[in-house]
């Protein structure tokens, strides 16, 4: 595609679509122009000329003059349909839809190989942080031990407002939604599903292992209450929702869980909608990436970087899949946790390997102890709103 103007067909003109439009307009020297934008609601007022818009997806997918399809919609099944049709039609595709990508990773990998077309999705994981391309290109050997971090802008915004400004959970969530950081369905953020989709994508690029989202345990900040917040503050800690994957004796485990984070931890100072990713490798120890993890122009700039990369024929090579020494996915790992509950019948403490601390009061009780990740994933008692979980460092 070098030295030619590429025609873009965009799906979606919401937060990210409009962010891309702004970034594209303000970036000089990129040979790309928007030919058509497909949206869902023909009656919605749009901030740009109506001639751009269509509700007919085939005006993009079947247009031979459109080189690149940019998929930025908020409907998972429709997004997969659009992306797979575009790839089958031989078009390069850029997408930001982490859920769609995480749920269909193996099929999307196959579609790229079969149709020999690039599919780039940097914006899907940590928005503005260029983490996928770094995992692909710089960390292209097997010395990476762990990838972990804050990969959900809206929960980090909420936790920052709770800890730094003493806002209530509800007020902080409303602010995150008003600013466009929260997903259309906020349960995806606050229950930890959105960061899990990103961890599933990062795990593939870090270790070459395909994992289905349902294999990975996620527990968000939806059960957090004032008692937990006081517990964290009493230990000079903050709380962060952390996605984690680590290689361990030929296996790799992953989870998304709220953590107690001490001040010395680099993730402690990642505030508001910012994301932070820590990589750990055999010879370099820790390396830290930080940047905006949500928002229209921040995400749009990652989408633009993918479009620009297509101009020099960049594609993911998935080198770690091809290296054939991928670790197997396993949830068999011990975690040290704080477990808060109201009455003893709400939890099953026999699941713990050991309990090092026990507290009881007229309102809440908690234990600190060690438990297997798979036991937590299977625990029905964690669905009770009176029960909360925090991982200790």
Ligand X SMILES: NC(=O)c1ccc[n+]([C@@H]2O[C@H](COP(=O)([O-])OP(=O)(O)OC[C@H]3O[C@@H](n4cnc5c(N)ncnc54)[C@H](OP(=O)(O)O)[C@@H]3O)[C@@H](O)[C@H]2O)c1
Under the rule (CB under 6 A), what is the footprint of ligand X? 11-17, 38-41, 44, 72-75, 78, 96-98, 123-124, 127, 180, 183-184, 294-295, 299
Q: DSSP for 156-201?
A: HHHHHHHHHH---HHHHHHHHHHTT-S-SSTHHHHTTHHHHHHHHH
Phi-psi map region of 12: left, alpha, beta (phi>0 left; psi -120 to 50 alpha): left
For the bound state, the minimum distance from the C-beta of residue 254 to ligand X, rounded and expressed in Å, comes to: 19
Which residue in the shown chain puts its C-beta closest to ligand X?
A: 14
Helix or strand holding residue 299 (H, E)? helix 296-311
Establish whether 198 is a catalytic residue.
yes
Helix or strand holding residue 53 (H, E)? strand 53-54
For the bound state, the minimum distance from the C-beta of residue 376 to ligand X, rounded and expressed in Å, comes to: 26
SS3 205: helix
- Is the Cβ of residue 237 or residue 256 nearer to ligand X in the bound state? 256
Asked whether 330 and 252 are in contact (CB, 8 A), the reply is yes
- Is the Cβ of residue 172 or residue 391 nearer to ligand X in the bound state? 172
The span from the CA of 2 to the CA of 11, in Å, is: 24
For the bound state, the minimum distance from the C-beta of residue 253 to ligand X, rounded and expressed in Å, comes to: 25
The span from the CA of 60 to the CA of 99, in Å, is: 23
- Is the Cβ of residue 157 or residue 169 nearer to ligand X in the bound state? 157
The span from the CA of 160 to the CA of 220, in Å, is: 15
- Of the candidates 36, 57, 198, 320, the residue annotated as catalytic is 198
- Is the Cβ of residue 208 or residue 295 nearer to ligand X in the bound state? 295
- Is the Cβ of residue 2 or residue 41 nearer to ligand X in the bound state? 41
- Is the Cβ of residue 73 or residue 392 nearer to ligand X in the bound state? 73
The span from the CA of 200 to the CA of 386, in Å, is: 29
For the bound state, the minimum distance from the C-beta of residue 200 to ligand X, rounded and expressed in Å, comes to: 14
Asked whether 10 and 38 are in contact (CB, 8 A), the reply is yes
For the bound state, the minimum distance from the C-beta of residue 242 to ligand X, rounded and expressed in Å, comes to: 18
For the bound state, the minimum distance from the C-beta of residue 258 to ligand X, rounded and expressed in Å, comes to: 21
Bridge partners, residue 337, by sequence:
369, 391
Which residues participate in catalysis according to the annotation? 198
């Amino acid at each position: 595609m070098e030295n030619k103007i590429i025609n873009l067909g965009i799906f979606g003109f919401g937060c990210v679509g409009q962010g891309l439009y702004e970034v594209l307009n303000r970036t000089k020297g990129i040979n790309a122009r928007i030919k058509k934008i497909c949206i869902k609601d023909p009656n919605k007022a749009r901030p740009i000329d109506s001639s751009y818009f269509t509700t007919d997806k085939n005006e993009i997918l079947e247009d031979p003059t459109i080189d690149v399809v940019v998929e930025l919609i908020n409907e998972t099944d429709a997004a997969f349909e659009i992306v797979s049709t575009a790839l089958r039609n031989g078009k390069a595709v850029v997408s930001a839809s982490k859920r769609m990508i995480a749920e269909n990773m193996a099929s999307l990998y196959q579609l790229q190989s079969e149709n020999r077309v690039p599919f780039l999705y940097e914006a899907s994981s940590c928005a503005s942080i260029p983490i996928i391309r770094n995992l692909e290109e710089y960390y292209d050997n097997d010395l990476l031990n762990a990838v972990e971090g804050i990969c959900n802008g809206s929960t980090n915004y909420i936790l920052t407002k709770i800890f730094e400004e003493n806002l209530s959970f509800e007020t902080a969530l409303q602010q995150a939604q008003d600013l466009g950081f929260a997903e259309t369905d906020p349960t995806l953020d606050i229950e930890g599903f959105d960061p899990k989709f990103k961890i599933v994508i990062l795990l593939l690029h870090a270790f070459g292992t395909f994992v289905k989202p349902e294999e990975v345990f996620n527990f968000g900040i939806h059960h957090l209450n004032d008692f937990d917040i006081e517990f964290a503050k009493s230990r000079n800690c903050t709380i962060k929702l952390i996605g984690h994957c680590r290689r361990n004796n030929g296996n790799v485990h992953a989870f998304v869980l709220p953590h107690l984070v001490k001040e010395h931890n680099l993730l402690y100072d990642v505030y508001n909608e910012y994301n932070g990713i820590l990589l750990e490798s055999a010879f370099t120890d820790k390396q830290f990436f930080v940047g905006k993890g949500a928002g229209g122009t921040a995400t749009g700039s990652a989408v633009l970087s993918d479009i620009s990369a297509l101009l020099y024929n960049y594609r993911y090579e998935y080198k770690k899949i091809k290296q054939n020494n991928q670790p197997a996915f396993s949830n068999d790992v011990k975690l040290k946790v704080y477990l808060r509950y109201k009455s003893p019948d709400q939890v099953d403490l026999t699941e713990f390997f050991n309990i090092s601390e026990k507290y009881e009061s007229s309102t809440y009780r908690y234990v600190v102890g060690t438990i297997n990740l798979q036991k937590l994933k299977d625990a029905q008692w964690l669905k009770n709103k009176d029960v909360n979980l925090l991982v200790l460092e």
